[in-house]
Amino acid sequence: MTTIKLARIYTQAGDQGGYRILVDRLWPRGISKANAHLDWWCKEVAPSPDLRKWFNHTAEKYPRFAARYQAELAANPAYQELKARVQAQLPVQDVILLFGANDERHNQAVVLKECLVRDIGLPTSTTAG
């Protein structure tokens, strides 16, 4: 069964087979576009610059960040496009949401995955990463 996975963009692409979507607004440092092996860079779905700067990857702010980011996603047409692409890919391959943050538990990709699982109606037991 195919899943939605999370991975740091710095993880070797060979380790992560599937449809690879970068969900950061800023291009990750030190990664060439050729070496990223992306299928899509969906920067428009990333948190707004103001929200990203406020959060500043501070774990204590994560619950408030997640709530604010979900509100942004609800009003963001790019989220609907992301959801449609994910739904189209899941029947044939895993979808990997890529991010650059060091903290693998407190970042926008985690929030995005939770929203996609909920909005697509996937059982949580079939999602990984």
pLDDT tens digits, 43-81: 999 999 999 999 999 999 999 999 999 999 999 999 999
pLDDT tens digits, 90-102: 999 999 999 999 9
Say which residues have a Cβ less than 8 Å from residue 47's Cβ, sequence separation at least 6.
25, 55, 65, 69, 72, 108
When comparing pLDDT for 128 and 15, which is higher? Answer: 15
Say which residues have a Cβ less than 8 Å from residue 74's Cβ, sequence separation at least 6.
none
Band of pLDDT at residue 15, cut at 50, 70 and 90: low
Alpha carbon distance 95, 75 (integer Å)? 23
Res 19: pLDDT: 95
Q: Can you give the residue ranges of every domain in the chain?
A: 4-120
CA 77 to chain centre: 15
Band of pLDDT at residue 36, cut at 50, 70 and 90: confident
User: What secondary structure does DSSP assign to 60-99, as a single string?
Assistant: GGHHHHHHHHHHHHHT-HHHHHHHHHHHHHTTTS-EEEEE
Nearest 5°: the CA angle 41, 43, 44 is 130
